[in-house]
């Protein structure tokens, strides 16, 4: 009876020590002030670089989490506790992305998604104006 309790407790300790998935890791605080000297072009470049790094470390962290799941399932040992994980790197790059986004907003930079939305809004407005100025023939 005691062996089962001890074994269950050990499994819980090891299972709780597994690497976290990147989506469950919170961003570290990074001040946007360090990005306030750059212009919008520089901020867009920094954002691309930061997102690329975030993707890279997120994939590495995901791999660690998957390895831990298999390690606990097969041997009862989360491998990342032996070799380390990339949780701190994921948190850091999430914080960098957030800081750059804040700097872009404060600089009133257009972000790629906003540019597409604004151009599609302008296209829609142009079509409405063109339809409004076309003469009607009276035929339906």
Please indicate, yes or no, if residue 6 is contained in any of the structural domains: no
Range of the domain at 89: 27-110
Dump pLDDT digits (tens) for 21-39: 889 899 999 999 999 998 9
Cα atoms in the 13 Å half-sphere on the side-chain side of 9 = 6
In a domain, 86, yes or no: yes
Q: What is the pLDDT of residue 116?
A: 45
Segment 94-98 shows an average pLDDT of 97
Domain count, the chain: 1
Query: Per the domain annotation, does 14 fall within a domain?
Result: no
Among candidates 91, 82, 94, which has minimal Cα distance to 17? 82
In a domain, 58, yes or no: yes
Examine residue 8 and state whether it is found in any structural domain, yes or no: no
Is position 93 within any domain? yes
Mean pLDDT of the chain: 77
In a domain, 63, yes or no: yes
């Amino acid at each position: 009876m005691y062996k089962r309790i001890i074994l269950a407790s050990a499994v819980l300790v090891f299972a709780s020590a597994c690497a976290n998935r990147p989506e469950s890791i919170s961003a570290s605080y990074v001040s946007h002030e360090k990005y306030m000297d750059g212009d919008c072009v520089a901020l867009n470049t920094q954002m691309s670089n930061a997102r690329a790094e975030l993707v890279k470390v997120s994939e590495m962290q995901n791999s660690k989490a998957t390895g831990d799941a298999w390690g606990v399932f097969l041997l009862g040992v989360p491998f990342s506790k032996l070799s380390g994980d990339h949780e701190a790197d994921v948190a850091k790059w999430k914080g960098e992305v957030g800081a750059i986004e804040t700097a872009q907003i404060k600089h009133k930079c257009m972000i790629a998604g906003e540019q597409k939305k604004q151009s599609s809004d302008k296209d829609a407005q142009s079509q409405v104006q063109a339809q409004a100025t076309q003469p009607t023939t009276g035929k339906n």
